[in-house]
Structure 1
Amino acid sequence: MSKPAFIITIDTEGDNLWQNHDRISTKNTHYLPRFQALCEKYAFKPVYLTNYEMAIDPDYVAFARDVIARETGEIGMHLHAWNSPPLEPLTDDDWRHKPYLIEYPAEHIRSKVEFMTHLLEETFQTKMLSHRAGRWAFNEYYAALLIEFGYVVDCSVTPKVNWQYSPGNPKGSGGTNYTDFPEQSYFIDERNIAKKGNSPLLEVPMTIQYKHSAVMNAFKQGYDRLRGKRRSPSVHWLRPSGGNVEMMKRVAQKSLDEGHDYVEFMLHSSEFMPGGSPTFSTEQHIETLYQDLEQLFSWLSKRTVGKTLAEYYRDKVAKK
Structure 2
Amino acid sequence: MVKVAITIDTEEDLWSEYVPAPCPVENIDSIPLAQDIFDRYDAIPTYLVDYPVVIDAHASRLLQGILEKGRCELGTHCHPWNTPPYGGDASERATMLCNLEDGVVRSKMENLHKAFVARFGVTPVSFRAGRWGFGPAVARSIQDLGYRVDSSVIPLVDWSVYGGPDFFDAPRHPYRLSPVSILVPTEDGDLLEAPPTTGFFQSNAEFCRKVFRYIMKSDLATRLKGIGLLERSRIINLRWLSPEFSSGEDMLLLAERLVRQGTLFLNMYFHSTSLLPGKSPFVRDEKDLQRFLLKIRMFLQHARDAGWKFIALQDTRKDY
Are residues 1:195 and 2:184 paired? yes
Cα shift readout 1:238-259 (whole Å, capped 9, x = no counterpart): 0013771010111211221222
Deviation of 1:150 after TM superposition, in Å, equals 0.2
User: Which one-letter code corresponds to 1:88 in the other structure?
Assistant: G
Q: What CA distance in whole angstroms lies between the structure 2 residues aligned with 1:220 and 1:242? A: 20
Paired residue secondary structure (1:302): helix
Are the aligned partners of 1:165 and 1:175 in contact in 2 as well (CA < 8 Å)? yes
Q: What CA distance in whole angstroms lies between the structure 2 residues aligned with 1:228 and 1:248? A: 27
Cα shift readout 1:142-189 (whole Å, capped 9, x = no counterpart): 1111111000000001111111012xxxxxxx1111122111001103
Cα shift readout 1:179-211 (whole Å, capped 9, x = no counterpart): 221110011033211111112111001100147
Q: Which TM-score applies when normalising by structure 1?
A: 0.87
Percent pairwise identity: 25
User: Which one-letter code corresponds to 2:174 in the other structure?
Assistant: S
Deviation of 1:221 after TM superposition, in Å, equals 4.0
1:237 corresponds to which of 236, 240, 255: 240
Are the aligned partners of 2:156 and 2:209 in contact in 1 as well (CA < 8 Å)? no
Structural mapping, 1:104-183, within 5 Å: 104-166=100-162, 174-183=163-172
Deviation of 1:215 after TM superposition, in Å, equals 6.9
Q: What CA distance in whole angstroms lies between the structure 1 residues aligned with 2:296 and 2:287? A: 14
- For the aligned residue pairs, the C-alpha RMSD in angstroms reads 2.4
Are the aligned partners of 1:11 and 1:78 in contact in 2 as well (CA < 8 Å)? yes
Paired residue secondary structure (2:95): coil
User: Which one-letter code corresponds to 1:36 in the other structure?
Assistant: Q
Q: What CA distance in whole angstroms lies between the structure 2 residues aligned with 1:241 and 1:309? A: 20
1:4 corresponds to which of 2, 5, 16: 2
Distance 1:299 1:236, change over 3 A: same
1:268 corresponds to which of 265, 268, 271: 271
Cα shift readout 1:257-312 (whole Å, capped 9, x = no counterpart): 22222100111001000111112110111011112221111111123111001122
Q: What CA distance in whole angstroms lies between the structure 2 residues aligned with 1:90 and 1:256? A: 43
Are the aligned partners of 1:160 and 1:210 in contact in 2 as well (CA < 8 Å)? no
Are the aligned partners of 1:243 and 1:288 in contact in 2 as well (CA < 8 Å)? no
Deviation of 1:220 after TM superposition, in Å, equals 3.6
Paired residue secondary structure (1:254): helix
**Bigger mean CA deviation after superposition, 261-270 or 21-30:** 21-30
Match of 2:53 in 1: 54
Deviation of 1:71 after TM superposition, in Å, equals 1.1
Are residues 1:101 and 2:105 paired? no
Q: What CA distance in whole angstroms lies between the structure 2 residues aligned with 1:46 and 1:56? A: 21
Match of 1:171 in 2: none
Match of 2:288 in 1: 285
Gaps of 5+ in 1: 167-173
Cα shift readout 1:4-56 (whole Å, capped 9, x = no counterpart): 111000000011413x4558321101100111110010010010000011111
Deviation of 1:102 after TM superposition, in Å, equals 1.6
1:302 corresponds to which of 305, 309, 319: 305
Q: What CA distance in whole angstroms lies between the structure 2 residues aligned with 1:64 and 1:221? A: 39
Q: What CA distance in whole angstroms lies between the structure 2 residues aligned with 1:144 and 1:231? A: 40
Deviation of 1:231 after TM superposition, in Å, equals 12
Distance 1:247 1:296, change over 3 A: same
Gaps of 5+ in 2: 203-207, 228-236
Are the aligned partners of 1:162 and 1:232 in contact in 2 as well (CA < 8 Å)? no
Q: What CA distance in whole angstroms lies between the structure 1 residues aligned with 2:24 and 2:136? A: 32
